[in-house]
Amino acid sequence: MNLTENIKVALGSVRAQKLRTTLTAMIIAIGIMALVGILTAIDAIESSINSSFSSMGSNTFTIRNYGMGIRIGKDGKRPKRYQKITFNDAKLFKERFSYPSTVSVSTIASMVGVLKFKNIESNPNVTITGADEGYLAASGYRIRMGRNFSNTELEFGSNVAILGNEMATTLFKAGEDPFEQIISVGNNKYRVIGVLEEKGASFAFSGDKVCIIPLLNVRQRYGDNNSSYTISVKTNSVPELEPAQGEATGVFRVVRGDLTGEDNSFEIVQSDSLANLVISQLSYVTIAATIIGFITLLGASIGLMNIMLVSVTERTREIGIRKSLGASKEQIRRQFLVEAVVICQLGGILGIILGVGMGNLMGVFFAAGFIIPWKWMISGVVLCFVVGVVSGLYPAVKASRLDPIEALRHE
């Protein structure tokens, strides 16, 4: 009996034991779904994180007064927080930093801002940012309509604003030109001079729910003694990033008055550092998903072994007839092994389909595109094959060792 015939007989056996086979296959499907689903979701999240942060460019770094830290359990570390970076600190750095690059100073005035145009009002979740002429380039923004701030507007802190793509869509009807329109930002009136291209979201922050106004304007209307400023530096190329960071560290240590031998009183973070940090922490989720999947598959393998043992008992007379007609031990053993593998693969295929769907559904919440995780799909098929062989081996060996005469007498 060749492999094709083995598979046909196995499918016939599956149809003959629909309830038990379906239950076993479903257990396997749940295990594979949990494994493939979570791992697919992680791949989708990683893709979203990388695309979100790569938009800033791999040749960008920022100087700020707090570090990064993601706490997972008791072993996580709190992010370091240093004395605020004042406007004078940022201004001195910008004047003294001579490395060829784009330097920008910015600060967040509010993360719960409200924009209004006529009778249309946004939700109170707009990030109001004060920035200079280099902010758009250093932050990876591109202007879809209008222009950047002029030197005069920055010097006098004019009431002008650049809107994120989503804010322009929210405030202005389709076909309505936002350029030169007057909007309300909180209690103040601003003239729209530009609209940004769509940037997308990363974590809880949306790059499109922003309103950017001149830095001096923010200092006049929103500034207080607790404001801390962020310095962004964009080099001309990736190889220049490291020497630029080295010079930036030296310049800002002098600005901050850090003494020799003391740690930096600030943090320098590359644009993709947070993405790499989050992705590295996702490895814990991957390990947990793998353990959950294997535990579920262990239970499924025990159930599969049980159903195969019952099948051997119920088909004892059939085994005796086959042996009497010349079937060898190897052929009987192969037949039951193939049946176990077929049941596992049926459950595995169902689990992979459900897992890919579930994983991509979770990825929707992170604005990730649809992905087909070939690596996890192939791993699921291989894993199901291994489970089928391991679970079916003992029942197959037991069936192959049955005495044909005793088997024919079995009722």
List, for residues 90-124, the tens digit of each pLDDT value: 999 999 999 999 999 999 998 899 999 988 999 99
Residues 267 and 283 in one domain: no
Strands 143-146 and 160-163: unpaired
Strands 160-163 and 210-214: antiparallel
10 Å CB burial of residue 336 (0-12, 13-18, 19+) is buried
Residues 25 and 167 in one domain: no
State residue 144's pLDDT score. Answer: 92
**Amino acid identity at 259:** L
Structure tokens at 147: 């222009």
Residues 267 and 282 in one domain: no
What burial letters (b/e) apply to 268-300, b meaning 16+ CB within 10 Å?
bbbbbebbeebbeebeeeeeebeeebbebbeeb
The answer to whether 281 touches 76, Cβ cutoff 8 Å, is: no
**Structure pTM?**
0.59
pLDDT band at 396 (very low <50, low <70, confident <90, very high): confident
Residues 265 and 159 in one domain: yes
pLDDT in tens, 169-182: 999 987 789 999 99
Residue 62 pLDDT exceeds 70: yes
Residues 351 and 253 in one domain: no
φ, ψ dihedrals at 164, nearest 5°? -70, 160
pLDDT band at 21 (very low <50, low <70, confident <90, very high): confident
pLDDT in tens, 217-249: 998 888 666 788 999 999 888 788 889 999 999
Residues 100 and 237 in one domain: yes
Helix axes 18-54, 273-314, angle to 10 degrees: 170
Tell which of 249, 271, 293 closes a domain.
271
Residue 187 pLDDT exceeds 90: no
State residue 203's pLDDT score. Answer: 47
Residues 306 and 335 in one domain: yes
pLDDT in tens, 243-294: 999 999 999 999 999 888 888 888 888 766 655 666 666 677 777 777 877 7
What is the distance between the alpha carbons of residues 41 and 373, in angstroms, rounded to a whole number? 10
- As a whole-number percent, the residues of the chain with pLDDT over 70 amount to 82
Residues 219 and 105 in one domain: yes
The stretches of 78-234 forming alpha helices (DSSP H) are 87-96, 135-138, 151-156, 165-171, 215-221
Domain ranges, residue 73: 60-271
Total domains in the fold of the chain = 2
Structure tokens at 392: 């079916």
Residues 119 and 184 in one domain: yes
Residues 160 and 17 in one domain: no
Measured from the Cβ of residue 186, the count of other Cβ atoms closer than 10 Å reads 17
Residues 362 and 313 in one domain: yes
Tell which of 203, 237, 271 closes a domain.
271
pLDDT in tens, 306-361: 777 777 777 777 777 777 777 777 877 877 788 888 888 888 888 888 888 877 77
The arithmetic mean of pLDDT across residues 178-193, rounded, is: 93
Higher pLDDT, 9 or 136: 136
Residue 127 pLDDT exceeds 80: yes
Residues 118 and 172 in one domain: yes
Tell which of 271, 306, 325 closes a domain.
271
Structure tokens at 74: 């008791």
